[in-house]
Structures are given as structure tokens and as C-alpha cells.
Amino acid sequence: MIENIDMTLVGWSRGQFALTAMYHWLFVPLTLGLAFILAIMETIYVRTGREEWKRMTRFWMTLFGINFAIGVATGIILEFEFGTNWASYSWFVGDIFGAPLAIEGILAFFLESTFIAVMFFGWNKVGKKFHLASTWLVAIGASLSALWILVANAWMQNPVGMVFNPETARNEMVSFWQVLFNPVAVDKFLHTITSGFLLGSMFVLSISAWYLLKGREEWLAKRSILIAGIFGLLSSVLVVYTGDTSARTLAQVQPVKFAAFEALYEGKQDAGLVAVGLLKESDNKIRTHNEKEFAFRVEIPGFLSVMTGGSRDTWVPGIRDLIEGNPGRGMLSVSEKMSKGTLAKDLLIDYKNARLINDTEQVETLKGIFRDEKFHNDYFRYFGYASLQRPEEAIPNVPVSFYSFHLMVMLGFFFILLFALALFFLFRGRLKSNRWFLWVALFSLPLPYIAGELGWVVAEMGRQPWIIQDLMPVTTAVTNISPGAVKTTFVLFAVLFTVLLFAEISIMIRQIKIGPKP
């Protein structure tokens, strides 16, 4: 790990990775959702034999292909950045983090890539059922690809199934199944996949609404809205449900992030859930009992306690309890965790020194300490706290976490309403007559993208300062390179990704205006 890091380097490295990840996530969710919608449409075509369904499938498949190609390019760059910008991180946890990424590349990516060729170019060249199977395998492959990426990210949020090897100063996997079925990974995968399904449904709904507004392709538009409406309504309900289960898990494994979501500074029983609120100050100070956190708020009484522990009597810790400690609740302060982490770090230094002077007895003694489960639970689990300078550094950006989380939740309930109205008007035969709704559907297209980006802001900003929860802060994870090099690549990537984004949008718009082939 690097000592005395230039914070300029840290800032630009974080910025470059965030830039790449946010652009990448503009393309990925559409691939996840639209792939399954294509598979459903083609299944109807194969079962009915009606050429109109084939024509519809091929139209949406063309738009899928445009998006898929650009998404792959940004994803490859994102994975390379772990080696170029975060070498210390890659060394510290490469044995664990690399495993799901390798599986993603070998299994999911090649499954996707192999059958996508059949899906695009196999019409009238292979049998209907084989082509349909290829489309389903592409959809499944896209979700498998997301699974392994999310497993890797979830391990960073909740490191499990590993042991620290002092000889190599690396964390090594001891239970693949613990990593795979990490509670955070399960919640994150289900929430992310269903949000992709929601976005794909909104994409189809919005473009179909445009066709109805223009008086074009009415048959295709209405049946596309039927599939997108049902798929989108189910997905939006699941997004809200999986978001709730994910929050419950985070309350256990990342309590500071959970408290930041609600700007909860003082722990309490019968804690209310803030539905809408405006923070009084935009800072990360630990407030006193007499200071008000909100200029105004609308709160659901007791719901935060119920959501966390199933009862209004559940005590929910606040930021103050988590940072300053609460002995009555058995909670350590960050200062105490810093002391424990420093002890673990000092023992690692002692181990290295013992190896240098070939003190085999000391080496074996210290190695036994690191292998001891009690030492791991009591000391090494706080290893990253040794790199903090002040306890307050463990507080994430509360305003960013609070506003991002609540805006995302509000959008989630809006999507449920929108898809429900789409189906209501469709079944009542009033879709074309309610032009206001078609305009709302059209202009709602960017909203799932915004909600998805907000979700990642919540996930990543909410766990700061950690790149690996409690084990490694971001400041110690960067590659020791020139900040100027990172700035240069940041600008190059920003230009490249922006050009790719505008290229995709322009090609998409042109293809939508052309419409399905006769």
C-alpha cells in the first residue's frame, strides 16, 4: 500500500473511474432489459407463426444491437482501469476480485458473443427454434455477465469468504460459495437486473408512444406497449421490493451508509422514515442533540425501525453512534477501530521484518496470529481504519447519499404508476385518445437512466471512504503514477465516451424514424 498519497491523484483516479462507470451504465441496463423483451416477442412469433411478430422482433433487435456494441467497449475499458489506476487494490484483493471477473469473461461474455451472431445474422439461415434459443441464451448471458460483475462489487461492500495471507499481504478466497451468495450480492443482483428490465420496458414504451403520436405503426406500437407494460409493471414492483430488501441488508453490513440515506444522526427507537425532506446544512459534521438536521421533512412514523428490524421498538443507530461509539449498545467508536486496525497493521510490519532477518520462530508465531479467527474478528476486520487520520473521515457525503436515495425511491414509485396507466388505457382502448399520457411516456425515457445512475451514486458514495468496506480506504488503493497521466486519460475518455454516446443517440433516432422494415 502507498503511503503519503497525493490527494490530487486520488481525486482524478476516482473521477476517471466514476466517469467510465457512469457512461458504461448508460448502455448496460438497456441490454439487460431489451434482450428479454426480444426473447418474449420472438417466442410469440414462433408459437403463432405470424410475420408481424417477426417484423416487430427484428425492429427492436436492431436498436438492441446498436446499444450492445457500444456497451461492450466501455465495459472493457472499465475492467482495465483496475490494473492501471488501482494497482494497490488489485494486489490486495486480486485473488478474490479477479475470480468473478474471470468467470464473467470466460462463461457469460463468450456465451453472449457466440449466440448474438446467430441472433442477428441467423434469420432464415437456421431453424426458428434454434434462432429462438439463441435469443434466449443472449438474454441469459447478459444477465450472467451482470451477475459476476455484481458479485465482485458486492464483495467490496461486504468482504466475506476470505482469509488474509501475511506472507503475500493479500486476501485469499477460502469459500467461493460465501462470495457468490453474499447477502449483498444477492440483493444487488436482483435489484440491478430488475432495474434493467424496467429500463428496457420504458425504452419500448416511450418509442411506441412516439409512433402513436405520429400516427405510424399502430399495430406494432400497441403490441409493443402491451409487452412492455406487463414486463415493466412487474419489473418496477420488483425493483421497489428488492430495493427494500437491499436496504435491510445494508442496515446490518453497512450501517453508516444506511444512516446517511436517512440523514439519521441520533440513534432511536420508533425511528421514522423520511419520505421527503430538505437538509438544513450541507455538511458532514456530527450534529449535537439540539441541532436540527432538516429544514422540513415529511416522515412516516416508526417505519424505519419496522423496515430495519420488523418492529417499531427496533433501535436504529445514527451516524453519531456509529462514529463516536455507543457502549450501552456494544458499539465501538471509530477511534477504537482505528486502534485495533493499527495493531493489525503493526503486526503485519513485524511479520515482514521477521522474514527479512529470517527469524523463523517469530514468523510462525505471527502467522498463527493472522490465521486465528478471533484475531480476524477482533482486529483484522478493522485493518483499513489504520489508514484514517480522523474518525470523521468514516462519514460519507450525507447530502449526496440522502438526496440520491430519496429521488431514486420517488422515481421507482412513479414507474409503477406509469406502467399501470399504460396497461389501463391500452385495455380500455383509450391509448391514442389520451395524447397527454403518450407525451408523458415519451419524455419519461431518461428517468430510468437517471434512477440507475442515482442507484450507483448511492452504492458507491454511500460507502466512502472505503474501496473495500473496513479493510481498505480509497486513498491507499491507487496506483502510484503521475496525476497528469490520469488527467490526460480522463479528458481522452470523456471525449471518447461523449462521442460514442452521441453517435448511439443519433443512430438510434435515425433508425427509429426509418421504422421497421416492410
pTM of the entire structure?
Answer: 0.90
* CA 90 to each of CA 156, 169, 384: distance values in angstroms, whole numbers, following the listed order: 12, 12, 15
pLDDT at 169 over 90: no
Q: Which of 228-237, 307-316, 382-391 has the lowest mean pLDDT?
A: 307-316
The two beta strands, 472-473 and 273-279, are unpaired
Span 148-161, average pLDDT = 91
pLDDT at residue number 288: 52
Grid coordinates given for 500: 460514442
Half-sphere exposure of residue 493: CA atoms within 13 angstroms, side-chain side: 26
pLDDT value at 1 more than 60: no
Provide mean pLDDT across the span 64-76: 80
In angstroms, how far is CA 342 from the centroid of its own chain? Answer: 31
Q: What share of the chain is helix, strand, coil (3-state, %, to 5)?
A: 75, 5, 20
Ramachandran region, residue 294 (left: φ > 0; alpha: ψ -120 to 50; beta: rest): beta
Residues 317 and 336: their CA atoms lie apart, in Å, by: 17
φ, ψ of residue 300 to 5 degrees: the values are -95, 110
Over residues 389-396, the mean pLDDT reads: 90
pLDDT digits 0-9 by tens, 461-503: 988 899 999 999 998 888 888 888 889 989 998 998 899 889 8
Other CB atoms within 10 Å distance of the CB of residue 330: 7
pLDDT in tens, 328-366: 888 999 999 999 999 999 999 998 898 888 888 888 888
- Mean pLDDT of all residues in the chain? 88
pLDDT at 511: 92
pLDDT at 230: 96
Flag whether pLDDT at 69 surpasses 90: no
Q: How far apart are CA 393 and CA 407, in angstroms?
A: 25
Q: If you average pLDDT over residues 233-237, what whole number do you get?
A: 96
What pLDDT score was predicted for residue 292? Answer: 58
- Beta strands at 472-473 and 466-468: parallel, antiparallel or unpaired: antiparallel
pLDDT of residue 199: 96
Residue matched to cell numbers 402491451: 226
Cell 405503426 sits on residue = 217
User: Would you list the DSSP string of 181-208?
Assistant: T-HHHHHHHHHHHHHHHHHHHHHHHHHH
Answer whether residue 285 shows pLDDT above 80. no
CB 66 within 8 A of CB 57: no
CA atoms of 308 and 271, how far apart (whole Å): 10
Q: How many CB atoms lie within 10 A of CB 32?
A: 23
Nine cell digits for residue 223:
403490441
